[in-house]
Amino acid sequence: MQKELLILFVASLGIAWVHAVTPSPGYCCPQITVALGTDEDGTYTFLAEGDGPASERCQNDCLYSKDSNKTAVYCFEAVTSEDLGEGEVQCEAIKPFSGPTAEELLKKLEKLQKDFEAQVNETKALKKEVDDIKEDDSKMETDISNMLTEVQALDGRLNYTEMRHAVCGYKNDMHFKEKKALFFERVYDEVDTNTEGSLLVDGTFTAGVAGVYFITVETMVALGRGESVEGFIELSSGSYADDKRFIFTKKHDVGGTDWARDQASASRYVTMAAGETMQIMLTPAFGSAVNDGTMDILQTTMCVSLYSASG
């Protein structure tokens, strides 16, 4: 008895081929290899079950595609071995899937999801750390800027503090009958750090920088009865107008007796602006004693020093 075979029928072209194995009813071979020595040799992969233009000639409703070509659809028809000849049409079972199960895949997916969430949280934490670092850096920059400002201000104050100036004028004797500015024979810069303050022999002191200056005057005054002499600080700005008396000494003549108020030396602080000038104005007063009508002051020394520069 001849063995029943399958003929391969090209549904779209109406060409028939042969299959060497008769599949059981309702079963579609997953993959069929055809080796007939013709152009139709190749691998045919199951597509679906369905009706086609040659379905009445096919063994069943199993439809196939050849190799990677999806434009032609094939089916197989039963034939005898004589029709098959020496060719071969072989049904090959596709290797069963050996990968992970659905449950394993689900667990792996859950683990990946957890890892992803952990990575997201870690990324958020790192971002917060970066933001905190940026905020700290910004605060640090502000602190550094403030510190630099303070250092610069301190440097400025130190520069002012380092400024020193002291100048003194000397006068052996001075005779005058009316108000007169204290003047000098010699002037010395005792301490000078380029503050440009100056004392002239005419008694005018000019402040080099704004600040507080310390003024001292020492002298001896020859007074007769009823005579006095006063010294006033005169500033070009008009400052201390209500409190400018600096020196006052007097010899009184009361009831035939005489007594003296003696204050031949004085010192005080005054605030001066840069470029402001200062003089000591001496004002004599004469009493009833017989004299030559002049006021005599001897061995006078006046010094002006920069106590604290402003700034």
Both 289 and 214 in a single domain?
A: yes
Are residue 137 and residue 76 in the same domain, yes or no? no
100-124 per-position pLDDT tens digit = 677 777 888 888 889 999 999 999 9
Q: Does residue 85 fall inside a structural domain?
A: yes
Q: What does DSSP say about strands 211-222 and 295-309: parallel, antiparallel, or unpaired?
A: antiparallel
Share above pLDDT 90 across residues of the chain, in percent, rounded to a whole number: 13
**Pair (290, 219) in one structural domain:** yes
Q: Are 184 and 281 spatial neighbours (Cβ–Cβ below 8 Å)?
A: no
Question: Per the domain annotation, does 25 fall within a domain?
Answer: yes
Q: Total structural domains in the chain?
A: 3
Residue 51 in domain: yes
- What's the average model confidence in pLDDT over 300-306? 90
Task: Clarify whether residues 85 and 60 are in a common domain.
Answer: yes
Q: Among 92, 122, 155, give the residue marking a domain's end.
A: 92
Phi and psi based region of residue 69 (left: phi greater than 0; alpha: psi -120 to 50; beta: remaining):
beta
- Do 294 and 193 lie in one domain? The reply is yes
Residue 138 inside a domain? The answer is yes
For residue 216, pLDDT over 70 is answered with yes
Compute the average pLDDT of residues 296-301: 86
Structure tokens at 52: 């086609």
Question: pLDDT-based confidence at 94, cuts 50/70/90?
Answer: low
| Percent of the chain whose predicted confidence (pLDDT) is above 70 | 71
> 58 and 168 share a domain?
no
- Which residue bears the tokens 């400018």? 244
Looking at 92, 125, 156, the residue that finishes a domain is 92
Higher-scoring residue by pLDDT: 94, 115: 115
Residue 120: both structure tokens together: 């997201």
Q: Which residues pair with 280 in a beta bridge?
A: 233
Return d(Cα 239, Cα 166) in angstroms, integer.
Answer: 21
Domain span including residue 58: 6-92
Residues 175, 302 within the same domain? yes
Q: Are residues 236 and 123 in the same domain?
A: no
Work out the pLDDT band at 169, boundaries 50, 70, 90: very high
- pTM score over 0.75: no
With vertex at residue 239, the alpha carbon angle to CA 233 and CA 242, rounded to the nearest 5 degrees, is 75
3-state secondary structure 150-206: HHHHHHHHHHHHHCCEEEEEEEEEEEECCCEECCCCEEEEEEECCCCCEECCCCCEE
- Residues 243, 126 share a domain: no
Distance CA 67, CA 48 (A): 15
Residue 156 maps to a domain: no
Look-up: residue for tokens 């010192």?
A: 267
